[in-house]
């Protein structure tokens, strides 16, 4: 069960655009379902019924691939960036499987020190690779994969390396597809009609998730339940969430903080941050999506949340049970003063912290809502992915933007390629770059 609790938003939504936004839901739902909105993002609507279209044979093939990788080596490196790894990492972190291969991540940065540390670890352990890229030329991922592939070839030869590499890429074209066909890698296809940040339930997410030993069939089943329930109704939970957060943005709240009660759901919050940031942050509108983990961040950002600028609202992500059963022991000296909690489950402390935080932040001027998961398992995590995907599609259209494109992401890439001397690359405006370089310097140093 997934529950949406708007109790602590009622005052903030009173007199807002919430009712009128709910009134638009049937029309916008029609755009999403029929692809009738003329904007270019309609080429990427394959996520809507994706869980229903995944066959048992496809799930079995991906699960078998995961089992094969686990049998080959104790480590598996997932190489991808953005939507090509965030969904997998979110799921793997949320649902650790005992005895599964340890997962490492690469290709989501070009930090030389972090890459050196990873390669040093891999030099001491056998490993496999799942490389995820539609083109095979994304700089961060391509750099990491070249390093990983070179190490595997050095250690196992070309054939041994090929057995340890799985490529998730385009069906027909691109550098990675060409290489995979030449070398004989096992491959899975990235659908053309599913954008990267919506791709967690494609092989982009499911193959590495299977390698980590997670039940991908249950993950897809949970998402399927949410997608099949989609209806042009303001009572459909993802659309109600979308309308509420859009109304708060239109009322002047600029930041939404997703607060995870479970430390294991931090990766889900990071996935959510990309999904909503890339989908809505354009044309001068869109909430800024920020993530925290409570109670940890109450000891760092708690003061700001309680008494900072009142431009923020919170969405709490709570897991209701079942708890782990860990209880707090008694201590005869009671130096820490915790004997009043002796015999009680740690889960009760966590629950009390959640309720206290919801109350205190509301009284401090931060409206909040809560999304409850009945339990932390593959089915509920899959349902949560589908919930947010449906919500962001509705929310983007309610804001008047195309939720399926990300033109702003290309700006840094164009400048970086020009700086690195990539053949054919140039600055969009050379005069602007020259002016940028000629700015008066304002640099100071402190000797250490």
Catalytic residues: 278, 299, 413
Whose CA is closest to 199, among 54, 371, 3? Answer: 54
Which pair of structure tokens corresponds to residue 416?
């970086």
CB 318 within 8 A of CB 370: yes
Whose CA is closest to 131, among 163, 103, 97, 165? Answer: 165
Indicate the pairing of strand 368-373 with strand 2-5.
antiparallel
3-state secondary structure of 229: coil
Which pair of structure tokens corresponds to residue 372?
């409850």
Q: For CA atoms 152, 154, 155, 160, give the dihedral sign.
A: positive
Whose CA is closest to 379, among 197, 258, 226? Answer: 226
Alpha carbons 51 and 157: distance in angstroms, whole number? 38
Alpha carbons 266 and 259: distance in angstroms, whole number? 9
Whose CA is closest to 227, among 239, 216, 217, 242? Answer: 239
Whose CA is closest to 73, among 8, 150, 155, 128? Answer: 128
Alpha helices in 281-330 (DSSP H): 302-307
| Those residues with Cβ within 8 angstroms of residue 87's Cβ, 6 or more apart along the chain or in another chain | 199, 200, 201, 204, 205, 271, 385
CB 313 within 8 A of CB 289: no
């Amino acid at each position: 069960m997934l529950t949406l609790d708007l109790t602590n938003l009622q005052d903030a939504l009173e007199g807002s655009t919430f009712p009128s936004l709910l009134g638009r839901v049937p029309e916008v739902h029609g755009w999403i379902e029929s692809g009738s909105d003329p904007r270019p993002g309609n080429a990427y609507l394959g996520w809507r019924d994706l869980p229903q279209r995944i066959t048992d044979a496809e799930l079995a093939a991906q699960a078998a691939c995961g089992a094969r990788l686990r049998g080959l080596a104790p480590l598996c490196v997932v190489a991808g960036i953005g939507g090509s790894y965030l969904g997998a990492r979110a799921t793997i972190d949320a649902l650790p499987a005992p005895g599964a291969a340890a997962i490492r991540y690469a290709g989501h940065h070009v930090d030389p020190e972090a890459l050196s540390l990873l390669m040093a670890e891999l030099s001491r352990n056998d490993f496999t690779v799942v490389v995820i890229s539609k083109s095979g030329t994304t700089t961060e991922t391509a750099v990491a994969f070249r390093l990983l592939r070179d190490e595997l070839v050095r250690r196992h030869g070309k054939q041994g390396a090929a057995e340890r590499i799985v490529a998730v890429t385009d069906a027909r074209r691109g550098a990675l597809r060409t290489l995979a066909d030449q070398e004989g890698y096992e491959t899975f296809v990235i659908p053309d009609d599913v954008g990267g940040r919506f791709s967690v339930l494609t092989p982009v997410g499911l193959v590495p998730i299977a390698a980590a030993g997670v039940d991908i069939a249950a993950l897809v089943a949970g998402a399927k339940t949410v997608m099949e329930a989609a209806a042009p109704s303001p009572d459909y939970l993802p659309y109600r969430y979308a309308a509420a957060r859009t109304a708060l943005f239109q009322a002047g709240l600029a930041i939404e903080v997703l607060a995870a009660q479970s430390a294991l759901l931090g990766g889900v919050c990071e996935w959510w941050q990309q999904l909503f940031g890339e989908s809505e942050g354009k044309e001068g509108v869109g909430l800024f999506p920020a993530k925290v983990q409570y109670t940890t961040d109450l000891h760092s950002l708690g003061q700001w949340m309680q008494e900072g600028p009142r431009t923020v609202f919170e969405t709490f992500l709570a897991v209701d049970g079942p708890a782990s059963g860990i209880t707090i022991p008694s201590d005869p000296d009671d130096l820490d003063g915790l004997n009043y909690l002796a015999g009680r489950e740690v889960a009760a402390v966590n629950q009390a912290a959640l309720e206290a935080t919801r109350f205190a932040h509301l009284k401090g001027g931060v409206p909040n809502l809560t999304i409850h998961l009945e339990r932390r398992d593959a089915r509920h995590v899959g349902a949560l992915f589908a919930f947010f995907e449906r919500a962001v599609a509705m929310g983007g259209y309610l804001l008047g933007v195309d939720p399926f494109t990300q033109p702003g992401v290309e700006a840094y890439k164009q400048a970086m390629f020009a700086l690195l001397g990539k053949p054919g690359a140039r600055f969009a405006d050379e005069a602007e770059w020259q002016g940028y370089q000629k700015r008066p310097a304002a640099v100071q140093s402190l000797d250490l």
